[in-house]
Structure 1
Amino acid sequence: MSNDTYENWHSRNELDIVKVLVSNTESGLERAEVEKRREKYGKNTLTVKKTISPLVRFLVQFHQALVYILLVAIGVKLYLGAYVDASVIFGVVLLNAIIGFAQESKALNALAALSQALLTTSTVLRSGEKQQINAKELVVGDIVLLQSGDKVPADIRLLSSRELQIDESALTGESTSVAKMEIPLKKETSLADRSNMLYSSTLVTYGMGTGIVVEIGDNTEIGHISKLLNNTQVLTTPLTRKISKFSHILLLVILGLATLTFLIGLWHGNSWESLFMASVALSVAMIPEGLPAVMTIILAIGVSRMSKQNTIIRHLPAVETLGSTTIICSDKTGTLTRNEMTVQELFTANENFEISGIGYIPDGEIRQLNNKCEVSKKPTLLELLKAGLLCNDSMLKGSEKSWTIEGDPTEGALLVSAKKAYIDFDLLYTQMPRVDTIPFESQYQYMATLHFDKKMNQHIVYLKGSVESVLERCSTYLDINGNPVPIINEEIHIQVQSMAKKGLRVLAFAKLITQSNIQSLSHDNVAHGLEFIGLQGMIDPPREEAIRSIEACKTAGIQVKMITGDHVITATAIATKMGLIQSVMKNEETVAITGKELEVLNKDELIQASKSASVFARVTPEQKLRIVEALQADGEIVAMTGDGVNDAPAVRKANIGIAMGITGTEVAKEAADMVLTDDNFASIEAAVEEGRGVLDNIIKFLGFILATNFGEGLVIIVAILVNETLPILPVQALWINMTASIFLGLTLAFEPREPGLMQKQPRLPSLPLLNGEMIFRIFLVGLMLLGGSFGLFELALNRGASLEEARTIAVNVFAVGESFYLLNSRSLRFSIFKLGIFTNMWIWGGVLAMITASIALTYLPIMNQMFHTAPIGLNDWLHIFGVGLIIYSVVSIEKIIRQRLKH
């Protein structure tokens, strides 16, 4: 179908649509016509984008600079005959390739889940007969019959309905079921307000209807989302981008230094063989072989910690991305709010009342002017609560703190408000049994129930619905004593507007005392002459823990924005309560914006609106995606929450996509990097803090391991420059690197979060991986390792030690010096005493393992043979530990000086 037609089915008359699609509402399509249309339009399925083969996708994972460095290292190890070490490093490379392959595959899984959303059966009218067919066999023009429990199989224009309600939350984000009616609408009506359209993959929750298929497969709204998913590129994370850049630089530096070393050696007149060994030693020394493995382990530990805080990470690098997050775009219902409608205000007989307590737990009281109200002394108020209880099809179940609603959440809120007034449900149901009902119908906008009052021996009708539909049927209202007096509609509308500005959903209630012999109820019975009782205003209340988390995010320099399918008034009121915006009245256009307003903005205007607005209401899936892209274009690291199919493209595009574990669709979960098992915003804030801790630990590890590599490289470069024998052999450099990474550096992965982590601003994506402070410390420690290692090496040779003994001393300077430096690497700011000496016991285990390994390297004959080492004396160890103490002391003093200068 054309785009123009696709956009405007909702604005056409039903008969015109049937005519345009050449169908028949009485008999449906003929079988021959169905075959023709299937050939023309294809099947009602989604097209999954063709991708490169799994083998090619796997091989592409090796196309990275850091992997090239590691492959070079493998070649070096094989040359040296270190086959075990070569196998270990290859295992690291292979593991990282597998992880990357799995990450890329998740996008394909999201599309597969989306395709599965269409697999269902449908009841259609063909050749005058009702038939059950597979939904993929539907064609444009088919007449489809729907009833409660069915999944909508395609995009359908409603032709007729009876009390039809659709759950469109997965598509539009609307928190409650939507009433449907067949009347034509204006062309500019937004997707969420198209009450005469049924969209593929939504659910029929109540009633029945008949409609005509207007779009199938890729042309449906869900098909449109599938195209967005196909075309949405998954972003690399800030850390992976920086590591990639760092790896390229490191590769060039190593090659440059190796070449320079070779040329200087030639100038000194050294042999080709010895220079080749020196270049190999330099390459091995400066390659951080353990970097990918340790980074993966640090991220995995972060994943494990987050799982204990109701957060499941599906994509390892998402852990560090959380630490860089600058903006969180959150859904409203169930994430920022409790997803439990709660009555908060009542209005009867020109009196206002408040109800305390939130959610479905019936703990709270009714108050007037901050004083507890005795409902028994307020006949009209009691009548309002009784009306909400009797004109109701839901049930309140539970005990103590475990309460649930069976039925509509709005009706459930009315039950809870009645329970808070201590009304005896069973007694009232017995005294006033229901005789008949007029169910809620969208064209009437009310529900009515007929009851026989045994006590008064009369029939009473209670009616609830929209304010407009109820008021037009009322001629009087009940005064403070429960007596009918002439109604003044303007006063009631003032109260309605006041409640609406607070984001409350308002229901009106009325009653009618009828003839005692009436046994059935019709719309004519309640057309006029009713007595207006009052209003109940309800809201899905904010989560208290979410409010605290939003405040914590503000302190941490993270903006929180609400993106919802709900109306702008409701969304803005909730945002104000939660502290997302300070004032609604002062400058509303800068804090809230609707989907319609977003449509007309160009790229620059959208970026500006995305920056300034805190609330985005009534937005479409494509607009959600555009908001995320606009924020990213402005340099932000964006986290996006979602639970529905409509959220999937934006969730996938975001730097960190977050899906809801309880209410989330499989499509949203597959597109996400992270899943909240409790659907609670507070869990996001906890995950961000954990992410910051992980990012901190990764940077600490880099600072630690690069100081080691830099020191080793300096030792070899200086030896070449002064034309001296190499103090460290390639196999010994390998030993230093692997033990430093595994025994020492890895222990930083278990470092607890530093105090004040959420009082700092997010780490900006534009900042380099290593700041000036860290680079200075790497140089400082590297120079001290150079001085200690080279100095003690020369000292040993001068006093007559063998070359093997001198090299053993040089290697152990690195082992001990790194152990002392590790204690200072636990924090860039604080001393080990400030952090707590025993808050990370892994540190001491690592140091003990390193000392044990060094003793084995020095004294075991087999290690002496493999690594060209020799036993050394006690004085040598005292000199080595002296270097370690100097390194620890100098770095500690440097920290103190730097902190004092900052303050």
Structure 2
Amino acid sequence: MAPSSSTAHHALAVHEVLTLMEADPDQGLSDQEAADRLHTFGPNTLPARTTTGPLVRLVRQVHHPLIYVLIVAGVITAALGEHVDSGVIFGVVVVNALIGFVQEAKAETALEGLRTMVRTQARVVRDGRPRSLSSDDLVPGDLVLLEAGDKVPADLRLIRTTDLRVDESALSGESVPAAKDGAALPEATTVVDRSNTAYSGTLVTTGGGAGIVVATGATTELGQIHRLVGAAQTLATPLTQKLAAFSKLLTVVILALAAVTFAVGLMRGQDATQTFTAAIALAVGAIPEGLPAAVTITLAIGVARMARQQAVIRRLPAAETLGSITVICTDKTGTLTENQMTVRTLWTPGELFQVSGTGYTPRGVITDPHGEAAALAEHPALRWSLLAGVACNDAALVEDDDRWSIVGDPTEAALLVVGAKAGLDAAEVAGLLPRVATTPFTSERQHMLTRHLLGAAGGPDATLLLVKGSVERLVAMCAAQMGRDGATRPLDREAALGAADHLAAQGLRVLATAVRPPGATHTYDAARPDDAPDGLVLTGLQAMLDPPRAGAAAAVAACHTAGVEVKMITGDHAATATAIADQVGLLDGHGPAPGTVLTGTDLASMSAADLPGAVARASVFARVSPEQKLRLVEALQAGGHVVAMTGDGVNDAPALRRANVGVAMGRTGTEVAKDAADMVLVDDDFATIEAAIEEGRGAFDNLTKFINWTLPTNLAEGLVILVAIVLGAALPILPTQILWINMTTAVLLGLMLAFEPKEDGIMTRPPRDPDQPLLTRALVERLLLVCTLLVAGSWWLFTWERAAGAGLAEARTAALNLFVVVEAFYLFHCRSLTLPVWRVRFFSNPWILVGIGLQSIGQLAITYVPAMNATFGTAPLGVDVWVRILVAGSIASLVVALHTGWQSRRART
């Protein structure tokens, strides 16, 4: 016995599978044998993952250079007696640690979602008697019975089927239920094409059958996905990577400056305690305490904006990562498409009709070849084709609060919808043509037939036969076709098959319809699949597909304009995927070029060396497995791309977790996919991803603006201390005053940049280079310029006031206020990364003005309130001092503006 997914059970005949598994197709296993096998193979559950304890995971969150810097800042401020400021800094550390702790637990949630997904009740034959058992107790060789509505409890090799169809969309991504049978298949058949196997976690939609358990627990296909989810590593976002590198550099620079300050002070013979205090003041001034809070708040504002766009961010850094996306790997079904089968084209002998409207909402128009609304009375063949689709049908449409959904097969639902668009209500048709017999669709029969009563007398003359099924089968069953005038003529098989091929080449799923008028002799034997009734007349073809969403093409075009590649990765068939890709603009509109469409079989035969180049060229990947989805994401990341991956099924979870941004569907997505993702689309619409990328770019822009503003000011505070030690002069700003500047301006000035609206043209520029450092050349130049202006201005004013006879407290208060005023002026220059200050709309961000107003009140308080004078060592200033402060701030602003203009001219040349 070989109960393992490595055995090609699908390639074996039924009797070979029974022999291999030592199973009985009628009696099943005995209770004793089942108990022995349960002991040998273990329960039919996915293994629990060994994880570290919560305390270890919590402590691990502080293992980050930036957190080290914050802890040092907290210790220093505590040592200086500023317990409130110290508490704020340590509060930031705790909040960051808790956020990281919660995010790390997401993988555990996704894995647990997989474990619970396979738990269900199974109908099993043991000792010849059917019984209901927990799926946990299934063992290899068990005989499992299936019927509509059952969740498949393990991987089954089917031995008997009756019209069995299984919804495998969560596993394979295919948009329609898969027909199942028991015939052996070639060993090379991919998982998504194994029609003789039912997989754990999928759902039986119609029919029934029986199968032998060939894999349980970790050896099932779902178990393989569980392993991939557990093995897939989440990547650090571009922001966290850059902040880590920046934090290391910042730590080295701060410690070096503090060490130089202390050494210079000692060499100059200054008091060691005072010199050490000055070194601490330098470190406190240079540490951007507000940076972590700014990152969190800026991203949180971006998250709120994305939520209004129907995109819910589950992991905060993903809001920033969206702005760096270079490739979107999107699923087809439900993301680019409506996930609602829709009839688009109707063919009757000699005529072609188009159908408007999408989805299951029965609103739309059927137009004739002249573009006019088609009246059923004038097109008999069309009327009979639509009637067959509505009456020979087991699905139902349901309306709830003006939202339409279906019960039953999506293909049959599409036939109901197009009939309703023509005025054929299913309930009315059922009343006029009561159904008296049904021959269901099977994979062997390839058609469905219903008999309807026409009169009260009954008998052959009073019954009507309606048939729908595959084109090849119905063309073979019909000897005649219905013409434009409703008259019966000999069947033109070549024309019918040619029309079907033409429609199928467009990615459409084509069904044929036929009718046997009353009075024809009936010799049909429904028990014989190869038998057919006499007198069938072909009425037409109905071609359908899952149509693209209304905004999908525009969203794809917007992504291309923004320099973001879009690649479709789906489990659906290549022809269907290619047709949708062409309609939404993923192809050039003239059919796929060689290499732009690859299948899972193509990828499986491709070497590791050839894969990156092939992935870069291709736009569509069809019939791919979960492992291949993960492999594609990894190949793109290896090529330097920042990848967003969309998905809704269990099969998407490993790739969602591995992608830089995993995007799950909110309406149709499984809980496993949502738990593995960073973002959930509430409306399942691809256009929402494009909108979220735009918001992500805006969020990162605002973060960059804050960094442009905070780094020069923080560094200048430290350099002021260093200059004082080098010159052997009194400190122009005290450590407590530096803390005041840092904590108030970061909140009241810097954080106001988080509310900046998105800049015009944000989606016309290419994605941000993931390798571009935070400290670009332009930023370093501006950093040095602003630092120089702040240090020179504060020393000039401090020296001027001292020379004019002002006390030490007054001179320091003047220098403190000059720092804040220059920071406020400089804030306006940081509102745009591309435009000079005079081209930014002044009132586009009113929070800037609110922040400056509140900061002004704070500065007046620290300058004139006696209690604050005593706490911070400040003193009241005269009007003439404020004039000098404002003049110095204006000069600094003018110099920055001139430098920005020079940088812009240099960039253009």
TM (norm. structure 2) is 0.96
On the 8 A contact 2:235/2:658 being kept in 1, the answer is yes
> Which deviates more from structure 2 when the two are superposed, residues 190-199 or residues 648-657?
190-199
Aligned residue type for 2:61: Q
Structure 2 residue 683 is the aligned partner of structure 1 residue 678? yes
Cα distance in 1, alignment partners of residues 57 and 399 from structure 2: 52
2:899 counterpart of 1:894: yes
Distance 1:223 1:400 in 2: 39
Partners of 1:440 and 1:447 within 8 A in 2 = yes
How far did 1:616 drift? 0.6
Contact 2:323 2:693 in 1 (8 A): yes
Q: Indicate if the aligned counterparts of 2:3 and 2:215 stay in contact, CA closer than 8 A.
A: no
Partner of 2:543: 537
3-state DSSP class of the match of 2:98?
helix
Give the alignment of 1:636-715 within 5 angstroms: 636-715=641-720
Inter-partner Cα distance in structure 2 for 1:424 and 1:857: 78
Is 1:559 aligned to 2:560, yes or no?
no
Question: Does structure 2 retain, via aligned residues, the 8 Å contact 1:361–1:402?
Answer: no
Alpha-carbon contact 1:437-1:521 (below 8 Å) kept: no
Task: Give the counterpart letter for 2:136 in structure 1.
Answer: K
Q: Deviations over 1:289-336 (max 9, x none)?
A: 111112111111111111111111110000000010111111111111
Structure 1 residue 395 displacement after superposition: 2.9
- 1:226-375 to structure 2, matched below 5 A, reads 226-359=226-359, 360-375=361-376
| CA–CA distance in structure 1, aligned partners of residues 398 and 75 of structure 2 | 69
Q: Helix, strand or coil for the counterpart of 2:543? A: strand
Deviation at 1:394, TM superposition (A): 2.3
Other-structure match for 1:495? 499
Select which of 481, 484, 494 maps to 1:477.
Answer: 481
Q: Which moved more, 1:375-384 or 1:333-342?
A: 375-384
Counterpart-to-counterpart distance in 2, 1:75 and 1:106? 32
- Residue identity in the other structure for 1:287: I
Q: In the alignment, is the contact (CA less than 8 A) between 2:582 and 2:591 conserved in 1?
A: no
Q: Which moved more, 1:808-817 or 1:451-460?
A: 451-460
Name the counterpart of 1:384.
Answer: 385
* CA shift for structure 1 position 629: 0.3
Aligned mate of 1:508, from 509, 512, 527: 512
SS of corresponding position for 2:714: helix
Counterpart contact for 1:355–1:365, Cα < 8 Å: yes
Q: Distance in 1 between matches of 2:71 and 2:277?
A: 18
Distance 1:831-1:492 versus aligned 2 partners, 3 A rule = same
Q: Write the letter of the residue equivalent to 2:485.
A: N
The residue number in structure 1 matching 2:760 is 755
2:746 pairs with 1:741? yes
Distance in 2, Cα, partners of 1:426 & 1:742 = 65
Is the contact between residue 522 and residue 533 of structure 2 (CA under 8 Å) also seen in structure 1? no
1:804-815 matches, cutoff 5 A: 804-815=809-820
What per-residue deviation string (whole Å, max 9, x for no partner) do you get for residues 136-165 of structure 1? 111111111111111111101111111111
Partner SS, residue 73 of structure 2: helix
Partner of 1:585: 591
User: Is the contact made by 1:459 and 1:518 (CA closer than 8 Å) also made in structure 2?
Assistant: no
Quick one: distance in 2 between partners of 1:759 and 1:894? 26
How far is the alpha carbon of 1:236 from its aligned partner?
0.6
Matching of residue 634 in structure 1 with residue 635 in structure 2: no
Residues 834-843 or 57-66, more deviating: 834-843
- Using the alignment, how far apart are the partners of 1:222 and 1:428 within structure 2? 43
Q: In the superposition, relative to structure 1, how do residues 881 and 2 fare at CA in structure 2: closer, same or farther (>3 Å)?
A: farther
SS of residue matched to 1:334:
helix
Q: Which of 180-189 and 514-523 deviates more?
A: 514-523
- Could you say which residue in structure 1 is the equivalent of 2:159? 159
Map of 2:438 onto structure 1: 437
> Which residue of the partner structure matches residue 448 of structure 1?
449
Partner of 1:598: 603
1:457 CA displacement: 5.5
3-state SS in 2 of match to 1:782: helix
- Cα distance in structure 1, aligned partners of 2:429 and 2:279: 92
Aligned partners of 1:466 and 1:506 also within 8 Å: yes
Query: In the alignment, which of 586, 607, 613 is matched to residue 608 of structure 1?
Result: 613
CA contact (8 A) 2:2 2:21 kept: no
| Whole-angstrom distance in 1 between the partners of 2:270 and 2:467 | 102
Q: 2: CA distance between counterparts of 1:416 and 1:77? A: 70
Residue type of the alignment partner of 2:614: A
Q: Is the 8 A contact 2:451 2:464 kept in 1?
A: yes
Partner of 1:40: 40
Q: TM-score, normalised by structure 1?
A: 0.97
Quickly say closer, same or farther: Cα 1:425–1:195, change in 2 above 3 A: closer
**Structure 1: where are the runs of 5+ without partners?**
none
Give the CA deviation at 1:570: 0.6
Bigger shift: 4-13 or 727-736?
4-13
- Partner Cα separation in structure 2 for residue 407 and residue 616 of structure 1: 29
Deviation at residue 527 of structure 1 after TM alignment: 5.0
| Aligned-partner residue type, residue 99 of structure 1 | I
| Separation in 2, partners of 1:82, 1:357 | 67
Following the alignment from structure 2 to structure 1, what is the Cα–Cα distance between the partners of residues 584 and 245?
40
**Residue 878 (structure 1) aligned with residue 878 (structure 2):** no
Cα deviation for residue 175 of structure 1 reads: 1.1
SS class of match (1:765): coil
Q: Does 1:188 align with 2:193?
A: no
Contact 1:70 1:89 in 2 (8 A): yes
- CA displacement, residues 58-90 of structure 1 (integer Å, 9 cap, x when unaligned): 101111111111111111112111111111111
- Structure 1 distance, partners of 2:400, 2:673, is 34
Q: Kindly state the Cα deviation for residue 460 of structure 1 after the two structures are TM-superposed.
A: 1.9
- Determine if contact 1:510/1:534 at 8 Å carries over to the other structure: yes
RMSD over aligned Cα atoms: 2.0
In structure 1, distance between residues paired with 2:2 and 2:802? 87
Shift of 1:595: 0.4
Supply the distance in 2 between the matched residues of 1:285 and 1:777 (Cα, whole angstroms): 19
**Deviation sequence 1:646-682 (CA, Å, 0-9, x none):** 0000000000001111111111011000111111111
Structure 1 match to 2:94:
94
Contact persistence 2:362–2:421 (CA under 8 A) = no
Q: Does 1:466 pair with 2:470? A: yes
**What is the letter of the counterpart of residue 411 of structure 1?**
E
- The amino acid across from 1:446 in the alignment is H
C-alpha contact 1:470 1:508 (8 A) present in aligned 2? yes
Which amino acid in 2 is paired with 1:349? P
Q: Which string of whole-angstrom CA distances, capped at 9 and with x for unpartnered residues, describes residues 534-564 of structure 1?
A: 2111111111211111111111111111111
Q: What residue is the counterpart of 1:791 in the other structure?
A: 796
8 Å Cα contact 1:169-1:175 kept in structure 2: yes
Distance 1:3 1:774, change over 3 A: farther
> For residues 776 and 568 of structure 2, what CA distance do their matches in structure 1 show?
34
Q: CA deviation at 1:401?
A: 6.3
Contact 2:155 2:213 (C-alpha < 8 Å) held by counterparts:
yes
Q: 1:425, 1:802 → 2: CA distance?
A: 94
Range with greater deviation from structure 2 (413-422 or 185-194): 413-422
Distance 2:322 2:475 in 1: 51
Q: Is the 8 A contact 1:450 1:521 kept in 2?
A: no
Matched, 1:81 2:81: yes
The offset of 1:491, in angstroms, is 2.2
Distance 2:296 2:180 in 1: 51
Contact 1:76 1:284 in 2 (8 A): yes
Q: How far did residue 802 of structure 1 move?
A: 1.1
Whether the aligned pair in 1 keeps the contact of 2:508 and 2:544 (CA below 8 Å) is yes
Query: Helix, strand or coil for the counterpart of 2:6?
Result: helix
The answer on whether the counterparts of 2:524 and 2:533 sit within 8 Å (CA) in structure 1 is no
Q: 3-state SS of the aligned residue for 2:609?
A: helix
Q: Distance in 2 between matches of 1:379 and 1:514?
A: 16
Structure 1 CA distance, aligned partners of 2:400 and 2:192? 37
User: Which secondary structure state, in structure 1, belongs to the residue aligned with residue 335 of structure 2?
Assistant: coil
Aligned equivalent of 2:834, options 820, 829, 835: 829
Aligned sequence identity (%): 46
CA shift at 1:424, angstroms?
A: 5.8
SS at match of 1:472: helix
Q: State whether residues 385 and 414 of structure 1, in contact with CA within 8 Å, keep that contact through their aligned partners in structure 2.
A: yes
DSSP-derived class of the 2:176 partner: coil
Partners of 1:449 and 1:779 in 2: CA distance: 83
For residues 400 and 102 of structure 1, the distance between their equivalents in structure 2, rounded to whole angstroms, comes to 37
Aligned AA for 2:322?
L
1:96-115 Cα distance to aligned partner (Å, 9 max, x none): 01011111110111111111
Contact kept, 8 Å, 1:301 with 1:750, in 2: the verdict is yes
Unpaired stretches in structure 2, ≥5 consecutive residues = none
